[in-house]
Structure 1
Amino acid sequence: MAKVFVSHRGVDAVPAERLARDLQAAGHEVWLDLWEIEIGDSIVEKMNEGLAGAQYVVLCLSAAGVTAPWITREWAPAVARQLENSGTRLLPAVLTGQEAPALLADIKAADLTADWRAGVAALLRAMDRAR
């Protein structure tokens, strides 16, 4: 299956981990900071390892926003790689009613707010179609 990097704000750790577990249960290799970054690790180095070779970056959209420094360092390069057709695709997932940044406004997001299972299923279909 695919290598998936889940990008989220710290305040969204609980739903992000739920989403990561759902993607993992579907057979995908999932990178989530909560699982991969240990005390004493270089955050930047670990993020680079997680993003390297990721076929998908799932960007968790929430009321907390997606413009903080760390989360921007995760999704912005994914957009650049997608524009270069380098094999990485950004898949926004709405956890709580948040508008995407203008740069991502034309990318349809999976909505997990109304029906979690349907939103996850939509993400999985998007991954299947892209391969």
Structure 2
Amino acid sequence: MANVFLCHRKPDAARVARLAGELRNAGHDVWLDEWKIGIGDSIVAEIDKGLSGANYLVLCYSAAGPSDWTDREWHSTLHRQLSGHPVKILPARLSGGGPPAILADIKYADLVADWAKGVQDLLRAIR
């Protein structure tokens, strides 16, 4: 199955943990900061390992808006994708807001309108 990195803001942690569980239950290896970064670990090094091994980055955006951390995560993934690496960004709307302008033309999973359908849409995109 696929390696999936979940890019999100802390205010969305509960929804993202629910999404991570559903993706993991479907058989995917999910990188979620709360699961992968332990006490004493280098946060930057662990994020870098997660991003380097990801086949997919699920960019969870919401009414909380962007953050420096999430911007760095998806920017670096977009650079890898445009450089020919086999990684894909999958936007997912968690609670409102809109995608970054450069990703506005990419279809997103809408977890606000219908959680179950949004998860199924993500699972179909993750191969």
Are 2:51 and 1:59 equivalent residues in the alignment? no
RMSD (CA atoms) = 0.9
Corresponding position of 1:95: 94
TM-score by length of 1: 0.93
TM-score by length of 2: 0.96
Corresponding position of 1:37: 37
| Deviation of the 1:75 alpha carbon | 0.8
Give the whole-Å Cα distance in 2 for the aligned partners of 1:63 and 1:97.
Answer: 5
Give the whole-Å Cα distance in 1 for the aligned partners of 2:78 and 2:51.
Answer: 12
Unaligned 5+ residue runs, structure 1?
none
| Deviation of the 1:107 alpha carbon | 1.2
Task: For 1:61, give the aligned amino acid.
Answer: Y
Corresponding position of 2:121: 122
Are 2:92 and 1:74 equivalent residues in the alignment? no
Q: Which moved more, 1:39-48 or 1:87-96?
A: 39-48
Structure 1 segments, 4+ long, off by >3 Å, are none
Task: For 1:44, give the aligned amino acid.
Answer: V
Unaligned 5+ residue runs, structure 2?
none
Give the whole-Å Cα distance in 1 for the aligned partners of 2:84 and 2:117.
Answer: 28
| Deviation of the 1:82 alpha carbon | 1.7
Task: Give the number of aligned pairs.
Answer: 127
| Deviation of the 1:40 alpha carbon | 2.2
